[in-house]
Amino acid sequence: MQRRGPDTCDYTFHTTAGSVTFRAWRALSPHGADRLHNLARLGYYDGSPLYRVLPGFVAQFGVATEPSVSAVYDWRNDVPGAIIPDEAPTLRESSGGGGGGDGDGEGAADGGGSNGKHWLAYSASYGAAGFATNRTAELFVSLVDNTERLDGKGFAAFAKVMDGAGTLDRWYAGYGEMDGACQLHKEGGWVCDGPKEERLYAQGGAYIDTAFPRMDRIAWVEVEAAAGAGGGALWDGEGAPGAGAGVVWWLLMVLTVGVGLAMWARRCVVSEKVRSRVLNAFGGAWAGTRRGTPLFGDGEEATAAVAGAGAAPAARGVGGEASSSLASQAAVVLSAGFELGKATDMETTPAG
């Protein structure tokens, strides 16, 4: 959970209403960007509800579906390391590519304040001075330009919608404001039929399934470091692979298969050469067997042959011829075996 996030990173939230991609710039909120990177790559947001959608204001999410996990990031529990340090909103210099923040676009900067339309920041509680504090995991995206409304309260936006802005408009908004938070923004005129924060943290996904069946959810989050971004390796074995891991995996797979095929082909060549040598060695004897002549003599001739190829020929001419033939065949077999060993060594031993 302490890994440094890339300088620029894309996070695609695949939701039940479609997908939306946010691009985060670490320079705008180093602590916030690092926290999002670690939570997203480890699957914290998978299955979590979009529990506060207020048209004309914000859409909020970030309570894990598993209560034992979300309890760690409930700021009221004050779990060590769960609350990240406060960071002030950053004024962005115009880069000419953001299109004023009103839709899909490119570039980190669109000029002006922090909480422009379609910018992402952490939800927070208010401290004694009315400044946003106690950031953990809950996020909200501004559905309109909230610069004047939220910048002065310390909400540091650091990511912007780059693709799928229309998805935000499809998130179900019928439940309105959260139960117990109706007095925060009475001017919005929203219904107040949303979930209770305490029950959301305590019961998680089961509470949403039972009481809010139409509420949209995040299925999973895809993490991909933007081109040229620093701060992250391909994959160090922890959590899900990051950008580029799939390409490296397939290259290794192709290389392994290629080496395996090359070794198999080499073995086939060696086997064919050895087979040819053996057939050449046994060619005459094999031909004789096919004509009906036994490879070895029978009776006394066979016994003599086993006793030794150099023994004197038997009295009968046929026996002598069989012993002589056997001796020649035995010599051929021994020669073929020796040559086989040489051939195998020569074909399988790499050149020095």
Give the tens place of pLDDT for each residue, 34-91: 999 999 999 999 999 999 999 999 999 999 999 999 999 999 999 999 999 999 888 7
Query: Sorting pLDDT into bands at 50, 70 and 90, what band is 269?
Result: low
The pLDDT of residue 336 is 40
What one-character DSSP code corresponds to residue 324? H
Share of the chain above pLDDT 90, in %: 49
What confidence tier does 187 reach under pLDDT thresholds 50, 70, 90?
A: confident
Determine the Cα–Cα distance for residues 135 and 83; give it in Å rounded to an integer: 6
The more confidently predicted of residues 210 and 289 is 210
Residue 150 neighbours by CB under 8 Å, 6+ apart: 114, 115, 121, 142
The CATH T-level fold of domain 8-226 is: Cyclophilin (2.40.100)
* pLDDT of 105 above 90: no
Band of the pLDDT at 185, cuts 50, 70, 90? confident
Separation between Cα atoms, residue 231 and residue 183, nearest integer Å: 42
Whether the pLDDT of residue 337 is over 60: the answer is: no
Lowest mean pLDDT among 78-87, 163-172, 274-283: 274-283
Helix (H) or strand (E) holding 101: none
Domain boundaries, the chain: 8-226, 253-348
**Is this prediction's pTM over 0.75?**
no
Rg (the chain; Cα; Å): 39
Beta bridge partners of 22: 11, 161
Mean pLDDT for 178-204 is 92
Q: Do the Cβ atoms of 76 and 134 come closer than 8 Å?
A: no
The partner residues of 121 in beta bridges, in order of sequence, read: 140
Mean pLDDT score of the chain? 74
In terms of Cα–Cα distance, which of 113, 107, 108, 121 is closest to 91?
113
Which carries the bigger pLDDT value, residue 164 or residue 2?
164
Average pLDDT over residues 211-219: 98
- The residue with greater pLDDT, 185 or 17, is 17
> What is the Cα–Cα distance from 245 to 233, expressed in whole angstroms?
9
Question: How far, in Å, are 5, 71, 235, 336 from residue 204 at the CA level?
Answer: 27, 10, 30, 78
Judged against a pLDDT cut of 90, whether residue 133 lies above it is answered with no
User: Could you give the strand order of the β-sheet that contains 58-61, starting from the edge strand earlier in sequence?
Assistant: 52-54, 58-61, 139-142, 119-122, 159-163, 18-25, 8-15, 218-225
